[in-house]
Chains A and B, each alone.
Chain A
Amino acid sequence: MPASTSETTQQQIDEEIRRIETDAAELVAAGATPERHPRRDYPPYRSSLLRHPTHRLVRVDPEEIERHSPAFGHTDVDPLEADLTIQHSGEPLGERITVSGRVLDGDGRPVRRQLVELWQANSAGRYVHKRDQHPAPLDPNFTGVGRAITGDDGSYSFRTIKPGPYPWRNHTNAWRPAHIHFSLFGSQFTQRLVTQMYFPGDPLFALDPIYQSIADPAARERLVGHYDHGSSVPEQSLGYRWDIVLTGSRSTWLEPEDADE
């Protein structure tokens, strides 16, 4: 059983992380498919201890409703909501960036006209949230919430500032790497995804039990956006690109009843 949160050191967390990663690598070496999602049961992330199911998930073919997704559109989202730097009277503090990419399904088809939601801390690592007690300054010119509807090619683009890393209470001296939260819908509800995008080269990756809860190194690298000089804007902003793949049930394309829809 892991030691209680307040007494746990980074070194203990590191050891737990490495042990799980080694176990996962051995499974792959023995022929298992690399794990594509985080483990819900991941003791180094202490909040997961009482919040993961212990029974196996029950496999079920999706019903028709689950093979569809809620529809969102421009009656729901104003195009200006994709610019997080213009929501107040002044300019937010921090490094101005763009984050853009495409949302694709498992067959590489664009996820068209769907909702992308994003939220983040400010450049000092503070969220506009009453329960965030990190004593870093709030920025009166930055809320940190954006929404967009993907284009016909699955594309999205946000203008924002680079969020700061921040401390949390998983263990002593725990810090989250800088990240942006994303929420995505696909063309079926089974593709629903909430995740986080990270920035390349962050020294906190190896130490962070949330990022490391994805036991396969190649899988977690899929959460790291890459710097793209071509999308940097002179005198304005640095560009990051991050493509997102939503795989849900594959039965959609096998069900004959879909043919007449």
Chain B
Amino acid sequence: MSDLVPTPSQTVGPFFHFALAYEGGGQLVPGHHPDAVVLHGTVFDGSGAAVPDALIEIWQADDTGEVPQGLGSLDRDPTVFTGFGRAATTRAGTYLFTTVRPAVGFVTLAVFARGLSHHLFTRAYLADTDDSLLGSLPADRRGTLLATPEGPSSYRFDIRLQGDGETVFLEYP
């Protein structure tokens, strides 16, 4: 049991781009990497409008299942896979990462936005499996965690913060 109570979260606010977004943030591997895949999508609010001021982070194992521990997520070295990426949504509410398929099947995402007081965790599954999370979800919500393949090397993963098709968001006990 923990003794200290956590410092509370606060929204990332509207003006984070100049501080948190950085060159190459969405490029976990260069586009010409032989196993590169694109993971992209749109963030929507409860009215179905795109969210142009969200920040998405991904964190994932590599294609052998290893947990990356290399430095260089902020100052990219194309020879090191760090497993971490960060991308702000565009004015159209879209985000895009270039990465590799994680051997464990999913990518973990953290979603931050103006109006969102505490970030949300979710997972994008690039392959349909029945792991303990997917297996536990009702049929009508399970699909929100499955990225849609678009050809051999691209996956679409839309994030719906609220309403119809609301993405399954996670908490860790």
Contacts and interface: CB of A to CB of B under 8 A. Distances in A.
Interface string A54-89: 110111111111101111110111000000000000
A5 interface: no
B6 A245 contact: yes
* B contact patch SS: loop
A132 interface: yes
Contact of B116 (A40, A76, A147): A40
Contacts of A52: 116-117, 161-162
A179 B16 CA distance: 13
B22 to A, nearest CB: 10
B96 interface: no
A190 B9 contact: no
Contact of A181 (B13, B71, B110): B13
A172 to B, nearest CB: 19
B133 to A, nearest CB: 5
A21 B117 CA distance: 16
B19 interface: yes
A58 B7 contact: no
A52 B132 CA distance: 25
A121 to B, nearest CB: 8
Nearest to B145: A58
A226 interface: no
Given A38-B118, A190-B172, A108 B161 contact: no
Given A60-B132, A76-B71, A145-B18, A48 B161 contact: no
Interface in A130-155: 131-132, 143-145, 147
Interface stretch (A9-17, A91-99, A213-221, A228-236): A213-221
Contact of A36 (B8, B10, B70, B173): B8
B137 A58 contact: yes
A223 B172 contact: no
A115 B168 CA distance: 28
A54 B141 CA distance: 13
Given A65-B108, A214-B8, A181 B16 contact: yes
Contacts, number: 241
Contacts of B6: 36-37, 106, 193, 245-247
A61 B132 contact: yes
Contacts of A36: 5-6, 8
Given A57-B171, A59-B172, A75-B75, A181 B8 contact: no
A222 B8 contact: yes
A58 B118 contact: no
A51 B2 contact: no
Interface in B1-46: 1-20, 45-46
B163 interface: yes
B119 A194 contact: yes
B20 A106 contact: no
A-B complex: 8 closest residue pairs judged by Cβ atoms: A106-B2, A47-B115, A119-B19, A70-B84, A249-B172, A38-B117, A51-B115, A50-B46
26 contacts: A37-B6, A39-B117, A45-B115, A47-B11, A50-B45, A50-B46, A50-B162, A51-B115, A53-B162, A57-B170, A58-B137, A59-B170, A63-B104, A65-B61, A66-B172, A72-B74, A106-B6, A108-B3, A117-B19, A190-B172, A194-B119, A195-B8, A210-B10, A222-B7, A222-B8, A244-B7
